[in-house]
Amino acid sequence: MKDLKNHKNLLSIEDDWEDDLKRRYPNPDEPVKEKEEFRNYVDSDRVAIVREFYKENHTYQTYDFVCKKEEEFLKLQKREMSVWEAVEFLNTLVDDSDPDIDLDQTQHLLQTSEAIRADGHPDWFVLTGFLHDLGKILCLFGEPQWAVVGDTYPVGCAFSENIVYPEFFQLNPDTTNDKFNTKYGVYEANCGLDKVKMSWGHDEYLYHVMKDYLPEPALYIIRYHSFYAQHKENAYTHLMNQKDQEMFEWVKKFNPYDLYTKAPVKPDVAALMPYYKELAAKYLPEKIKF
């Protein structure tokens, strides 16, 4: 298991990645921030950190790597715990590297879910907002940061130019493998995303943890909320079937809550927990295999 310093490093890249997402996909309902309004980092250093992160991610996220990670983790034999034990486990990832925001992971999750609840969405959608990043406990199981966070995308077929920093895929051996480097690769046209292997990370992992418990739209949100090449760029429509197209409306509905609700205001965790414990008990068993 990685030491705490590495956990903090992972959260640092997560912060940089999320700010990079906001630069790539700014909130259309908000005015553009001036440079000095962002957190106190040297922009060139932060860009370099994100580029290096994606260089590793794009180099090592191969079809065979994903298969190995599925074999390692999808037996769900790492730990058995309640969702609240998992949340507390995730809370060991408090980000001391962030100069402006001092929120634990529960508070970040609540910011997303409370914004969804305030807009009157179904309770399963609220719960999904609270749970959607819980798969980041992967880093506490020793996964490198490039295999936990970041944009996700299909493996086993050609990498789209619409994926962030596509030039780094030249370092990925699948790019020169004729089995994987065509438009469809190992898949068929409109085969459906359930037949497509996604790059390994917290999205895919948590989908498998939760797939027996939550409604199908919730599972799509969890599994594909970092799949920006599709829900923002429509780069992989050729692999999607009609059901995917319908379910992705929920993914797109969720995305603004994920990107634009994080702020330094701390939610009142103690006041909110009774509601969330009752909500979780409605959908989830007492113990879950991770």
Candidates 33, 4, 5; CA nearest to 19 is 33
Query: Of the segments 5-14, 107-116, 201-210, 263-272, which one has the largest average pLDDT value?
Result: 201-210
Contact 66, 114 (CB under 8 A): no
Q: For 238-256, how does the pLDDT look when each residue is reduced to its tens digit (9 = 90+)? A: 999 999 999 999 999 999 9
The mean of the pLDDT values for the chain is 88
Model confidence at 25, pLDDT cuts 50, 70, 90, reads: confident
Phi, psi of 61 (to 5 degrees): -80, 80
Q: For 39-81, how does the pLDDT look when each residue is reduced to its tens digit (9 = 90+)? A: 444 456 778 888 999 999 999 999 999 999 999 999 999 999 9
Q: For 195-214, how does the pLDDT look when each residue is reduced to its tens digit (9 = 90+)? A: 999 999 999 999 999 999 99
Q: CA–CA separation, 49 vs 223, rounded Å?
A: 25
The pLDDT assigned to 35 comes to 44
The pLDDT assigned to 20 comes to 78
Q: CA–CA separation, 33 vs 132, rounded Å?
A: 27
Q: Which comes out higher in pLDDT, residue 109 or 281?
A: 281
Q: Which comes out higher in pLDDT, residue 59 or 102?
A: 59
Q: What is the mean pLDDT of residues 106-124?
A: 94
Q: What is the mean pLDDT of residues 261-273?
A: 84
The pLDDT assigned to 4 comes to 39
Q: What is the mean pLDDT of residues 174-184?
A: 98
The pLDDT assigned to 30 comes to 66
Q: What is the mean pLDDT of residues 173-201?
A: 98
**pLDDT tops 90 at residue 98:** no
Model confidence at 100, pLDDT cuts 50, 70, 90, reads: very low
Q: CA–CA separation, 109 vs 272, rounded Å?
A: 12
Domain residue ranges of the chain, discontinuous segments joined by + = 4-289
Q: What is the mean pLDDT of residues 137-162?
A: 95
